[in-house]
Structure 1
């Protein structure tokens, strides 16, 4: 089994789990699904830079090959964006729960009213 196959399998499993959780009817699994999808995307972006072991991160005239630093910068940027997006979705779902009394994604109000 090669390293590329393991990384591709990891991306596939994280992506499938994320899609499954995003399609649930409660808000907490949707938030977890978005987190899993962002992990899958980060792993995919990182693997775009060719998986090389023991290579310098920058170009050196003595080195035969080097690791591409662009995917690493993209992953760092994606982590920050995913953190901000997750915080926003958590606040929106909390606000929806406090106003409607339910954590269903459809937002229909609870017949008993909002929690006190």
Structure 2
């Protein structure tokens, strides 16, 4: 998913700069020429983190859905990647339960998001 989003971002940048896809230019050359960096994935993660923090603090049905506390059998195959797990990886937090505890404090959560967006992938 990440690679397809990054490819789309580069396609947008090439279109804005009117560089045809047949031109033999690497993505790094285009980023240097545009004097920018890749930002789409960071913005998506930042908005996801803000939304999840909002949902967790509300402590209603959305909280149950986000944390995945449902009973029953799960389907066959590989378990789907949870949003909390991917955000915990992005923010370098060991356990999603620790991240949920940090979400309770809005000011601390916002500073953690800002730190992750500066130093994350």
Q: TM-score, normalised by structure 1?
A: 0.31
> Which has more radius of gyration?
1
Which structure carries more relative contact order (alpha carbon 8 Å, separation 6+)? 2
Q: TM-score, normalised by structure 2?
A: 0.30
